[in-house]
Amino acid sequence: MARLGRRIVALFIDWGLCYLIAAAFAGGQNAVILAIFAVEQVLLLGTAGFAVGHRLLGIRLQRLDGTAPGLARAALRTVMLLLVVPALINDQDQRGLHDRAAGTILVRL
């Protein structure tokens, strides 16, 4: 299980990268940053199991059975992550509601 500190730093890395991309191509508008972040999360987490920040910090998203999450689970997780509140509510395993709903877990590599 990936610890909270790694998950938060990975989130900031991904968010910062999306901000830089939006600033370079769209003037840094909030809606564009959010859209780029959502696309990055769904595509990279759904296919590779990790986004840029996750990879740099040595964590990976997987289903509870250890398989790749797939695009549908990554999309559900991302939508809930963008709502912020589900990510702040954790269970005893330190999984946020967004991970519980998607049936996923962040683990250390």
- Of 45, 65, 46, 63, which Cα lies nearest the Cα of 55? 45
What's the rounded mean pLDDT across residues 23-33? 90
Check if the beta carbon of residue 107 is closer than 8 Å to that of residue 59. Answer: yes
- When pLDDT is cut at 50, 70 and 90, the band that residue 65 belongs to is very high
Per-residue pLDDT tens over the stretch 76-107: 999 998 888 777 888 877 788 899 999 999 99
Domain count, the chain: 1
Check if the beta carbon of residue 7 is closer than 8 Å to that of residue 106. Answer: yes
Domain holding 89, by residue range, is: 4-108
